[in-house]
A and B are shown apart, each in its own frame.
Chain A
Amino acid sequence: MSTPPLWSSATRIFDLSLGQMLWSRRSVFLGILLGGPVALSALIAVLTRTSLGAFRINGAPVAGPTIFGMIIWLLYIRFILPILGVFYGTSLIADEVDDKTITYLFTRPIPRSAVLLGKYLAYLACTVLLVLPSVVLVYFLIVPVGGGSIAAAFPSLVMDLGMLIVGLASYGAVFSLVGARIKRPLVVGLVFAFGWEPTVLLFPGYLKRATVAYYLQALVTHEMPQDSAVSLLMQVFHEVPSVATSLLCLAAIVALTLWLAGRAVEGREYVLEQ
C-alpha cells in the first residue's frame, strides 16, 4: 500500500472526525450559545407585536432587516464567529492529544498535515451546521418586525450566510495555527479575538489589516441606523477594502495559516501524559 495523497487522506480524517465533533460536549455548549440570538429575536418579535410596538433606537423606529443586520454584525461576526473559531480551531489537534487518541492517526500512512486539514474541514462543516440554522431562524423571526419583507431581504440573507462561512473558514484557519504553534492557544486566541481585533479596528492605519474582522466587515451588506451609537461605531469602521480585495485577502489568510499550521504539526512532537 502506498501513501495516500494529502487531499484523499484529509477527506478520510474528515469522515472520522465529523461525527466526533458534532456530538462533542463543545458542540452541545456552543449549540446552546447559538440559541441566544434566536431567543433574543423571538423576544423582540413577541414584544414588538404586543406591548413594545415598533423597535426603536434613539427614538427612531428600526425595521426588521436593519435589526437583522445589527444582530449579524454585533452578535455573529463580532462574537460568535471568533468564539467558534477559538474554541474549535485551537483544539483541532489538542483534543486528540488530550484524549490520547492522536497516536492512532499519527501511526497511519498519511501525512500529519492531512490530519490537521481533515479536522479543519470537519470543524468547518460542524460550525456551518451549527451557525446557519441559527441565522435562518433569526432571519424569519426578525425581518418581518416593523413590516419588513422576507422575500425582499432574502438575497441579503444568502450573502450573509456566505459571509459567515467565509468568516468561519478564516477564524478557524487562524486559530488552528495558534493551536498548532502555541502552548496556551485558548488564552492567546481569546486575546486575539476580543483584545487585539476590536482594539486595532478603532484606530486608523495599517494595523487593522492584521485582523480577520477588517476584511469581513467589507462583506457586510446591511445598512445601520443613523444618529446612534451603532452608527458612530460603523463610521469608525467606514474605512473598508473592496469585496474582491477582502475575499482575496481572506483566502490568502486561510491558505497561509493552514499551511503554517500543517508545517507546525509535521515537525512537532506530541508527548502524551501517562
Chain B
Amino acid sequence: MTAAGVVAADHLSKWYGQVIGLNDVSVSVPPGVTGLLGPNGAGKSTFMKLITGQLKPSKGAVTVLGEPIWNNPGLFARIGFCPEQDAFYERMTGLEWVTALVRLNGVGDAQAAAMAGRALEQVELTDASHKKIGAYSKGMRQRVKMAQALVHDPSLLILDEPLSGMDPIARRKSIRMIKEWGRAGKSIIVSSHILHEIESMTANILLINQGRILAEGNVHQIRDLIDEHPHTVYIKADEPRALAREFLTQDDVLSLKFEDEAVVVQTARPDVFYARLTELAASGQIGAIHEVTSPDDNLQAVFQYLVKA
C-alpha cells in the first residue's frame, strides 16, 4: 500500500455476521479516474460503502484523502458520492433536491440554488430542473444523482454503478462527462460490472471478486479474456423486433431472444455492439430505447477463469 492514494485500504475487512463482504484488502487508489470492476456480490458495494463512511471496517483501516472516513463528516465537504440505489424524494424537483442537499454543506440559500443550477447544467438537466424527480426517466434520475454528487465541487467523486439502466445516448453523455471531470483534475472512483463501460472512461482498474482485489492496473490486460466470453445485453425499447432485425445482420451477434418489450442479445464484440447501438439510438430509426442493462454472467465467467489461473 502506498500513502499517496486518494483512497488507501490497509488489510481492510468487512463481514456481516458470518458473511464476508470484503476480505483483507490492501490497496491504494491513485489520483485520476479509477474503475472498480466486479460482478454483483463481488464486494464492490461493500468497498464503496466503506470508503464513503457508511460502514465501519470490521478489521483494518481505510483512509480517504489522507483521513479516516468513519465518523468524520467534515471530510464529505471534499467528497461527492453518487449511490447505486434509485432512491429520491420523488415529490421534489431536481433543482429543489440538489439545492436542499448542497445546503447541508453549509452554503446559503441563494448560493445553494446557484450551485445546484450549475451542477444540473453540467449533467445537461437544466431544461428538466423544475420537473418533479418522480417524472424523470431512468437516465435523468442517474444524472440528477450525479449532479448532487458534484454540486459542491468535490476533489473526489465516488460513483457507484452510475450508468446502470441508462439508454445508449445518456450512457454516452455520462461517460463523456466523467472523462471531462477526470481531465479537469478530479479524482473519480467509478464502479461497474461492465468492462467496456469502465474501459471507455479509464485504463486504470481494480478487479474485485469474492471480497478480494484480484488485480489492479491496466484494463487492456484482461480485455482479451473478456472478449472470449459472450456478452449479454438487455435492451428495453419501443420496437424490439426492429432492433432485432438490425442486429441480425451483424456478425458479432451470437443470439437473440425477446422478453416482454425487450430484446436480449449475446454478442462476441461488446465494444462494436455498443457503438452500433448508440448510433442506432441516435438515428431514431428504430424508435426509442428506454433501458440498456447487462447481466454480469459473462464477467463472472472471466473472474472464475482468473481465480482458477
Contacts and interface: CB of A to CB of B under 8 A. Distances in A.
Interface stretch (B29-37, B47-55, B249-257): B47-55
Given A2-B106, A20-B91, A271-B16, A106 B74 contact: no
A39 interface: no
A109 B74 contact: yes
A103 B101 contact: no
A103 B149 CA distance: 11
A15 to B, nearest CB: 7
B135 interface: no
A111 interface: yes
Contacts of A13: 104
A1 B152 contact: yes
Contacts of A110: 73, 104
Interface string B1-24: 000000000000000100000000
A16 B107 contact: no
A109 B100 contact: no
Contact of A271 (B55, B89, B107): B55
A99 B87 contact: yes
Contacts, number: 89
B54 A107 contact: yes
A266 to B, nearest CB: 7
B141 to A, nearest CB: 13
Given A2-B74, A3-B73, A269-B54, A103 B106 contact: no
A107 B52 contact: yes
Q: How large is the interface on A (under 10, 10 to 19, 20 to 34, 35 or more residues)?
A: 20 to 34
A105 B106 contact: no
Contact of B89 (A4, A101, A103, A274): A101
B104 A108 contact: yes
B258 interface: no
A100 B95 CA distance: 20
A29 interface: no
Given A13-B104, A101-B87, A270 B54 contact: yes
A23 B291 CA distance: 31
A109 B106 contact: yes
A47 interface: no
Contact of B103 (A3, A15, A270): A15
B247 interface: no
Contacts of B75: 109
Nearest to B148: A104
Contact of B105 (A20, A103, A109, A272): A109
Interface string A97-138: 001110111111111100000000000000000000000000
Nearest to A106: B54
Query: What range describes how many residues of B lie at the interface?
Result: 20 to 34
Interface in B99-125: 100-101, 103-107
A110 B87 CA distance: 20
Contact of A107 (B16, B71, B81): B81
Interface string B63-103: 00000000101111101010111011101000000001101
A120 B53 CA distance: 23
B56 interface: yes
A20 B54 contact: no
B138 to A, nearest CB: 16
**Best-buried of A108, A111, A270 by chain B (most CB within 10 Å):** A108
Given A104-B148, A269-B54, A272-B85, A1 B104 contact: no
A26 interface: no
Contact of B56 (A1, A15, A269): A269
Nearest to B46: A271
Contacts of B76: 107-109
A108 B56 CA distance: 17
Contacts of A267: 71
Contacts of A112: 73
A9 interface: yes
Nearest to B86: A100
A108 B77 CA distance: 7
Among the interface residues B56, B79, B105, which one has the most CB atoms of the partner chain A within 10 A? B105
Nearest to B71: A266
Given A2-B74, A103-B54, A108-B101, A23 B45 contact: no
Given A9-B104, A23-B91, 12 more contacts: A1-B152, A4-B105, A15-B103, A19-B91, A103-B54, A104-B101, A107-B52, A109-B73, A110-B104, A270-B54, A271-B16, A271-B55
Minimum-distance CB pairs A-B, first 4: A100-B87, A4-B106, A3-B74, A108-B104
24 contacts: A1-B77, A1-B105, A1-B152, A2-B106, A3-B73, A3-B77, A9-B106, A12-B104, A13-B104, A20-B91, A100-B87, A101-B87, A103-B81, A103-B87, A104-B148, A107-B52, A107-B53, A107-B79, A109-B73, A109-B74, A269-B56, A271-B49, A272-B85, A274-B85
Interface of B: 16, 45, 49, 52-56, 71, 73-77, 79, 81, 83-85, 87-89, 91, 100-101, 103-107, 148, 152
